[in-house]
Amino acid sequence: MDCKEFRESLDFYADGELAPEAEAAARLHLNECAACRRAEAELLRLRRALKRTVAQHQPPPELVRRVEALIGAHRPHRLWQRRISLPAPVFALLLVATLLVGLGVASLRRAPPGKQSASVQPEQKPPAPAPAPQGNLDLARFDHGERATIYKVRRTQAGDAQ
């Protein structure tokens, strides 16, 4: 590192913000260059004097209020930082509407496929007649929607299906 590069990165070096490799090169240069050591010492002395001066004097309260008002007026408010106030009836109405929508969605999910409303299944065909029973067995067939449906058939003594 030469003097020009060191002077360009002197503020970063004093703040400890250089990458490890650049910091090592700056330390090596400081060990070899008296002029850069003086520049670093002058910068650190200036920073200490500035901190002392600022700590001794307090700005007038009116100035502090005006600056805070300016900063507050220009600071963007994020949605999660804003306070939202709703009247109790509006909040109750939103809560009830949310619950009703949730219950409606849950009931549609739990309803058997043949029991859902027409809005969910726009094209419902009536089920085909059940095939003739064959003993006391459960018979399976495919309906027009290509889903398996199981019909439990009981036979009477005379052979009629109920």
Reading the block at residue 115, the tokens are 């029991």
Predicted local confidence at residue 138, as pLDDT? 47
Banded pLDDT at 101 (limits 50, 70, 90)? very high
- What is the pLDDT, as a whole number, of residue 78? 64
Report how far apart, in Å, the C-alpha atoms of 161 and of each of 150, 151, 155 are: 15, 12, 5
Is 74's pLDDT higher than 70?
no
Question: Alpha-carbon Rg of the chain, whole angstroms?
Answer: 41
Decide: helix, strand or coil at residue 8: helix
Task: Give the CA distances from residue 63 to residues 56, 58, 69, 71, in Å, rounded to whole numbers and listed in that order.
Answer: 17, 10, 10, 12
Q: Could you tell me which of 1, 3, 12, 4 has the C-alpha nearest to residue 43?
A: 12
Instruction: Give residue 112's pLDDT band: very low, low, confident or very high (50, 70, 90).
Output: low
138 CA to centre of own chain: 51
The residues pairing with 138 across neighbouring beta strands, listed in sequence order, are: 152
Per-residue tokens: 20: 């490890």
Residue 37's H or E segment, with its range, is helix 34-56
pLDDT at 1: 86
| Stated pTM of the model | 0.37
- Distance separating alpha carbons of residues 146 and 131, to the nearest angstrom: 16
Q: Over the stretch 26-45, which tens digit does the pLDDT of each residue have?
A: 999 999 999 999 999 999 99
Tokens of 7: 């002077």
List Cβ neighbours of 16 (8 Å cut-off, separation of 6 or more): 23
Between 88 and 41, name the one with better pLDDT.
Answer: 41
